[in-house]
Amino acid sequence: MRPSNSSLLIAVCVVISLSYSQVVYSAGVSPYLPLNLPNHIAQKIERLGAIAGEASLNKPYKIAQVTALARKIQTTHPLLYRDLAPYLRNHKERTSTSLMQVSLASSNNSISNPYHFGADGESRLLLETAGYAMYSDNIGVSASAVISEYNVNKAQGMVHVGVDILQLDIGYKSRWWSVGRINSLLLSNESEAFASVSASNVVPISAFDINYEVFAGRLNNEVGIYSGDIFEQDKPYITGATFNFSPIRQITLGFAHTTVFGGGVRDAGGSEFFEALTANNLGSAENSSFSEAQADRRYALRARYNHEVLGFHYSIYGEHVTRKVLGDNGEQPNAATIGIYFPVINDSSFRIEATRYDQGFYNSDIYNNGYQDNKTSLAHFIATKAQNSAAKSLTAQWFWLMNADESLTTSLGWSQVALLAENSNELVNSGLNFSADYRSSFRSVYWGVETSYGLDAMGEHVYRLGVYLGF
């Protein structure tokens, strides 16, 4: 199924028309919680979202969004509210620190640290920090970074301007665009944030819980760009849009896409952003001597079903993503994620998630590095090294809140990668990985131990062992 040329325009019109109806919570803009939240906080927010009926399918979460959800469950789930209240209380002020954590680790795998914005997985020392400042209800800034012994990685740094139905974020913003929480097929925080301008709403709009985001940006690093027999080095542009709504309380439906285009001989400047966002071909490329391939687009159809039976909550979610080369009617590789999440099983949460993608889904006939920025995937898959091949994975994750001060998160993941050799024979490798994260806290300070070990889908034994301290 292909999106029509006018699908985004229709979505925007719906947003504008409904923006004059009921707006649920507060006026003004909102800063974001960092994507690399401490695991025990991230798990509690995932619990909150499933129980309170959170309607957004993407991250990062806005602080206003999480605070409003917490108010919903204050009386129905007082223990969960009590667990989150100290963290959210820190974000009631005009300025706050969302994250301050230092980690010491040993690892033999440069890609074993996927959620830290391109930081080398073999880094022994990581300092992660994030904070924000609100100068008024309508303007503020957010910033975060990951610092290792090798470099400083841009996590995000942006200015927020606007009102509750239209917030502009200008600067470096990281995005997790997927209903999945273990893998992300469109955008993730595996790579550094790139510069962009985006528009979104702060809290769900109208009784249909509408959420949207539209952005335009440019990737950080130059890549090889092909156009016929011409080859140039330049930075590609990227644009994307996401729109989701809840026709009834338990169901959320959504659509999203990203398009990588331009750069080098294909560069037509900012005039192509609108076409790349809304059209199925780029006119300026179509009318030139460029090859038929004009741009790389990946679009997703998504759904999530949250339900409660006799006090037992569960969430079923999935998305189907197709790669479409604009200007080329050739093969269209697909990818998909499906999962089920149980937010509260006594003192635990449990998630099972499966992901697969076809050969060529992350390849490109235009850009020599595929769907990457600085040799790091814009998306995230458990077998990252194999992103230019066909692959599948199945992961189970268990979170145990042992008591008010201690928690344990474990995951067991299986992955399989099919590689095409030079003789066109298919080589299939499988991997298995186990990870655990124990956390304890005392007042406002927490510390923990994280470890992982396994055989990756490339046949290599990988490990990581680390300790961390945060505030």
Q: What is the pLDDT of residues 210-260, one digit of tens each?
A: 999 999 999 988 888 887 778 888 999 999 999 999 999 899 999 999 999
Please state the pTM of the whole predicted model: 0.88
CATH number of 26-282+290-470, picked from 3.40.50.720, 2.40.160.130, 3.40.50.970, 3.40.50.1220: 2.40.160.130
CB contact set of 281 (below 8 Å; sequence gap of 6+):
275, 294, 326, 327
pLDDT of residue 418: 80
Question: Which helix H or strand E contains 87, and what residues bound it?
Answer: helix 78-89
pLDDT of residue 229: 76
pLDDT of residue 22: 37
pLDDT in tens, 116-153: 666 667 778 889 899 999 999 999 999 988 888 878 87
C-alpha triplet 66, 318, 377: angle, nearest 5°? 80
Q: How confident is the model at residue 19 (pLDDT cuts 50, 70, 90)?
A: very low
pLDDT of residue 424: 55
Mark out the alpha helices in 386-460 (DSSP H runs): none
pLDDT in tens, 287-317: 444 556 788 999 999 999 999 998 899 999 9
Exposure b/e, 342-373, CB count within 10 A at least 16 = b: bbbeeeebbbebbbbbbbbbbbbebbebbbbb
Share of the chain above pLDDT 70, in %: 85
Q: Taking 90 as the threshold, does the pLDDT of residue 370 lie above it?
A: no
Q: How confident is the model at residue 471 (pLDDT cuts 50, 70, 90)?
A: confident
249 phi and psi, to 5 degrees?
Answer: -60, -40
Share of the chain above pLDDT 90, in %: 42
Q: Taking 50 as the threshold, does the pLDDT of residue 21 lie above it?
A: no
Q: Which residue has the higher pLDDT, 340 or 110?
A: 340
